[in-house]
Structure 1
Amino acid sequence: MVAVRPYRPLGTDSAATSSSDPHPIQLYELPAAAQMSVYGPVVKIHPVVLASIGDSYERRNEGASRVIGTLLGTIDKHSVEVTNCFSVPHNESEDEVAVDMEFAKNMYDLHKRVSPSEVIVGWYATGFEITEHSVLIHEYYSREATNPIHLTMDTALQSGKMNIRAYVSAQMGVPGKTVGVMFTPLSVKYKYYDTERIGVDLLQRTRDAPNTTNGLTSDLCQVGGAAGRVQDMLATVLTYIEDVLSGKQTADNSVGRYLMDLVNKVPKITAEDFETMLNSNINDLLMVTYLSNLTQAQIALNEKIVVL
């Protein structure tokens, strides 16, 4: 655990702190052009990150007011995509904050073995305020990542909902004088993989009935539900086209281009060829299922023979 002392706040703004210390925190700051090439105005967060933060808050030590952790993800020219995270043990008091930096380093090394493409993009903290200690913790992550982001998540629902905000730091003040750090908010968007979408849809179904329990649906039910949604979308498109042709609605050129692209992407195949391909895939699936059942039976028989 590494302990550091807090700096005095500058004014009453909770998102800016400073110090008259002769050796204040020096957060690494890229030039404006370089910042835009690394960090754009958008932070994309995956649902698994939010679930992990909420879980770490529920499992926090007794007496802990908040939890912090490392954000992992990827960086492109215009955005930061946060795909994973892990909590980091720490202790806070009015006088100092102690962060287990060795634990954070070891956890990151383990994550690198599983997902080499994920790098440290910043850190998170539960709550909706940026405190004096946040500047000190941010200084540590500034050594681990270039211009890291700071994510806050109101797990206590003090504002009535779980507000999620992202910030990036920048130095403020007169050169040679008192130096402070200002946290500038960034735009936040939510992104998910197809596998994450299943969990999000399941949570949406149980939102209005929190006391009920829903399990994951079978693959066949998921395919049926997806086919039903596609039919509903096609019905909406057909209604729009009919209204445009009848003059009930003004044509939109951008929508027309999207529809033309959609039509061009549909493979040109006859009904007979499609049926042949479908039957071939079904036969392959049945063969794989048969071989799997046969292998399972052979394993069970072998176990009984070994026992005898």
Structure 2
Amino acid sequence: MPSETSVTKVIVHPLVLLSVVDHFNRMGKIGNQKRVVGVLLGCWRAKGVLDVSNSFAVPFDEDDKDKSVWFLDHDYLENMYGMFKKVNARERVVGWYHTGPKLCQNDIAINELIRRYCPNSVLVIIDAKPKDLGLPTEAYIAVEEVHDDGSPTSKTFEHVPSEIGAEEAEEVGVEHLLRDIKDTTVGSLSQKITNQLLGLKGLNSQLREIKNYLLKVDNGQLPVNHQIVYQLQDILNLLSDLAQENFTDTQYVKMNGKEKEKDDRDGEKEEKKKKLGEREL
């Protein structure tokens, strides 16, 4: 894939999640409680969508006190990739993963090493021990950051949307794995509430990040990035004006309209049931 093509979305397959969790648990059993690192394999779809369908672990170690001191066995990486390529030539190195659960100081340096095998290297942080509901994946790409003070550009990570996706065969396998633990009593109402809760948690997390960033800029810990400020201004411009008198009335009309649509649908269902009953008689 050309290096100038931007990544718009990363799709992670269930097999990758299972492999990463297995890697993390195996290292934990021998006393290694650090993050684990591996290589992601996959292919590019249309419009910059990255399909991550496979992965393998790579020997990795780092100094807890000095994160600039680290080791990644790239000879092992090349040998493993050579064997994977014999099995499936379509899957190529598309990036790397670690179990974080957050970005680390030396991730840019590690990413530069992986870029030898893939110019568009993507970093996917997979939380092997998630504490909250939601996706356990966060995807990032390295970009050049231009400073307003005239200092040289530096590499930083930019967040990329990610989701969990699967082929039909994988979906069947996942269904079999979840069959014994799936709670069949969970209805659509609880699912909607869970989705709303996840959305609110995500919003709260993003607002906290924005607040912390603005505080650091105000305290002089970070330089002013006008592009970020413009984006924040665009977000504020999209918010509804709560001071308008007709705002509450508009919300009432919207909610009443939804209730009316629901009543109409329920009425249509009852009418169909009556007609079916009459036909049977």
Question: How far apart are 1:208 and its partner, in Å?
Answer: 4.5
Instruction: Give the aligned CA root-mean-square deviation in angstroms.
Output: 2.8
From 60, 63, 82, give the equivalent of 2:52: 82
Question: Does 2:64 align with 1:91?
Answer: no
Runs of at least 5 residues in structure 1 that lack an aligned partner in the other structure: 1-28, 210-239, 248-308
CA distance 1:182–1:92, shift in 2 (3 Å): same
Q: Tell me the matched-pair count.
A: 183
Give the conservation status (yes or no) of the 8 Å contact 1:128–1:163: no
SS at 2:41's partner residue? strand
Write the mapping of 1:170-249 to structure 2, written as runs, cut at 5 A: 170-174=143-147, 177-208=151-182, 243=268
**What are the superposed Cα offsets for residues 164-185 of structure 1, whole Å, 9 maximum, x if unpaired?**
1111110113497343222111
CA distance in 2 between partners of 1:162 and 1:76 (Å): 22
Give SS of 1:156's match: coil
After superposition, the Cα gap between the structure-2 partners of 1:100 and 1:47, relative to the gap in structure 1 and judged at 3 Å, is same
1:194-227 Cα shifts (integer Å, max 9, x gaps):
2211221123323357xxxxxxxxxxxxxxxxxx
Residue 46 (1) aligns with residue 13 (2): yes
Gaps of 5+ in 2: 184-264, 273-281
TM-score, normalised relative to structure 1:
0.54
The Cα of 1:163 is off from its aligned counterpart by 2.2
Distance in 2 separating the partners of 1:84 and 1:117 = 11
| Equivalent pair of 1:156/1:162 in contact (CA under 8 Å) | no
Q: 1:187 to 1:162 in 2, by over 3 A?
A: closer
The aligned amino acid for 1:90 is F
* Paired amino acid for 2:104: T
Q: 2:111 matched to 1:138?
A: yes
Aligned to 2:244: none
Which amino acid letter does the alignment assign opposite residue 80 of structure 1? L
Aligned-residue offset at 1:159: 4.3
> How far did 1:76 drift?
2.4
- What is aligned with 1:166? 139
**8 Å Cα contact 1:42/1:186 also seen in 2:** yes
Structure number with higher relative contact order (C-alpha < 8 Å, ≥ 6 residues apart): 1
> 2-side partners of 1:194 and 1:64: how far apart?
35
SS in structure 2 at match of 1:143: coil
Which has more radius of gyration? 1
Q: Of residues 135, 150, 154 in structure 1, which corresponds to 2:123?
A: 150
Shift, 1:162, TM fit: 6.0
2:41–2:53 Cα contact (<8 Å) kept = yes
How far did residue 243 of structure 1 move?
4.0
Distance 1:49 1:111 in 2: 14
Residue matched to 1:113? 86
